[in-house]
Structure 1
Amino acid sequence: MRMEFRDVVRRRRMVRRYTSEPVAPAAVEAMLRHAVRAPSAGFTQGWSFLVLDVPDDVARFWAVTSPRARGDGGGSSAWLDGMRTAPVVIVVLASEEAYLDRYAQRDKGWTDRARDRWSAPYWHVDAGMAALLILQTAVDEGLGACFFGVPPSRVDALREEFGIPSAWAPTGAITVGHPDPDAAPTGSVTRRARRPMGDVVHRGRWGA
């Protein structure tokens, strides 16, 4: 029985520790099918997804993105120890080149590939929308997930380890698994309340 959409939105949260139960391949496929339905500027679809669902591949991901060596920015922490329990990691990648090429085509009216024409890096905006659909689908599949960034200092190591072409940059990565019901909340998020609608919604004029 699938959830109502409003329940998917309400229940979505970042899950940072998982059980050892494997994730069904069909659930991963559902996440990816929904991800590619995300909107994209110029229908560029300049995203790709590196799916790591074999234990050795997941271990390789953590080894290159968060090594346990001291002073390397990885180390060990409650957050990392929990995240490393995820049986699936999906790396969400975006191609700036794909967007620059797309908007240099005749139907878009631009005659060059200038990056300064863009009000925001829509390659990452669109990849982020695809990532949100993965997060929401995880909830709908009875799973938990967490979106997080890849440290800039570790991107080259990630590329080399998994053969990612230089034209693709990680927008972030998503851990997926069955939430650990006994896990204690971690991180500063446990001390923060959701902002009231009146603080974030402005009608007609800022502050109105």
Structure 2
Amino acid sequence: MEFADVVRRRRMVRDYDPDRPVPAEVRERLLAHAIRAPSAGFTQGWAFLVLESAEERDLFWSVTAGPGAPDAWLTRMRRAPLLVVPLSSKDAYLDRYAEPDKGWTDRDPAAVAARWPVPYWDVDAGMAALMMLLTAVDEGLGACLFGIPGERVDAFRAAFGIPPSHRPVGVVSVGYPGDGDRRSPSLKRGRRGVDEVVHRGRW
């Protein structure tokens, strides 16, 4: 598939065929492409939790979803045969930028905040997630990036043994689109054009 077609066809898929697992070789390509994402200082301070078995996925949904019967969105999303959680590590970036070629050894919170007004550890993990989203399209699959509710992150950490050094920046669900997949009503807003969002030379 041409790259322009991949970009044009990329969308968030929210329903999956539960009877069609993601082929192992496709899963590995998703992960191999994720680690090709750019990272500040070539730190590569990301990690990826892969949840593929029914038991792993059921545990994920049990600790991240609210009590009661699942709504329509959750019912469809739970059919995804593959979940990949990109995690970021702030410490990896502070360690990398303390090395001689960078020299930022001061880890005082104020100094760190001044040097990193945008947390690139999260940005880089997000770019790795985008690589997976695009790869899914190229492989003929669907994918969706969604978040873990803040009040459920601790339960997620405990369930899967996530160390304090890493935090989840989202979850990528992957699979073959199901019959119930439909376009988000948000798309009725329309896509903003280049001339609406691009400022050339000055705002």
Q: TM-score, normalised by structure 2?
A: 0.93
Separation in 2, partners of 1:161, 1:77: 23
Separation in 1, partners of 2:63, 2:105: 40
Superposition deviation, residue 111 in structure 1? 2.5
What SS is found at the alignment partner of 2:170? Answer: strand
Match for residue 94 of structure 2? 100
Separation in 1, partners of 2:54, 2:180: 23
What SS is found at the alignment partner of 1:204? Answer: coil
Answer yes or no: is 1:66 the counterpart of 2:91.
Answer: no
Cα pair 2:88 2:121 within 8 Å, conserved? yes
**Counterpart amino acid of residue 80 in structure 1:** L
**Counterpart amino acid of residue 47 in structure 2:** S
Per-residue CA deviation, residues 112-170 of structure 1 (Å, 9 max, x unaligned), is: 12421212000000000000000000011110000011111111111111111111000
Answer yes or no: is 1:82 the counterpart of 2:76.
Answer: yes
Superposition deviation, residue 182 in structure 1? 4.3
Separation in 2, partners of 1:171, 1:182: 27
Separation in 1, partners of 2:182, 2:50: 27
Separation in 1, partners of 2:146, 2:189: 18
Separation in 2, partners of 1:143, 1:50: 20
Q: TM-score, normalised by structure 1?
A: 0.91
Match for residue 205 of structure 1? 202
Match for residue 52 of structure 1? 51
Superposition deviation, residue 189 in structure 1? 1.8
Cα pair 2:13 2:181 within 8 Å, conserved? no
5+ unaligned residues in a row in structure 2: which ranges? none
Superposition deviation, residue 191 in structure 1? 2.5
Separation in 1, partners of 2:124, 2:182: 33
Please say which of residues 127-136 and 197-206 is displaced more in the overlay: 197-206
Which of residues 113, 117, 120 is equivalent to 1:119? 117
Match for residue 32 of structure 1? 31
Which of residues 159, 162, 165 is equivalent to 2:163? 165
Q: Which runs of 4+ in 1 moved over 2 A?
A: 181-186
Separation in 1, partners of 2:187, 2:41: 39
Separation in 2, partners of 1:181, 1:107: 53
Separation in 2, partners of 1:154, 1:65: 5
Answer yes or no: is 1:142 the counterpart of 2:140.
Answer: yes
Which of residues 182, 186, 191 is equivalent to 2:188? 191
Match for residue 109 of structure 1? 103
Superposition deviation, residue 196 in structure 1? 1.2
**Counterpart amino acid of residue 123 in structure 1:** W
What SS is found at the alignment partner of 1:107? Answer: coil
Separation in 1, partners of 2:3, 2:89: 30
Superposition deviation, residue 183 in structure 1? 2.8
Q: Give me the identity figure in percent.
A: 58
Separation in 1, partners of 2:104, 2:54: 46
5+ unaligned residues in a row in structure 1: which ranges? none
Please say which of residues 112-121 and 56-65 is displaced more in the overlay: 112-121
Separation in 2, partners of 1:102, 1:182: 45
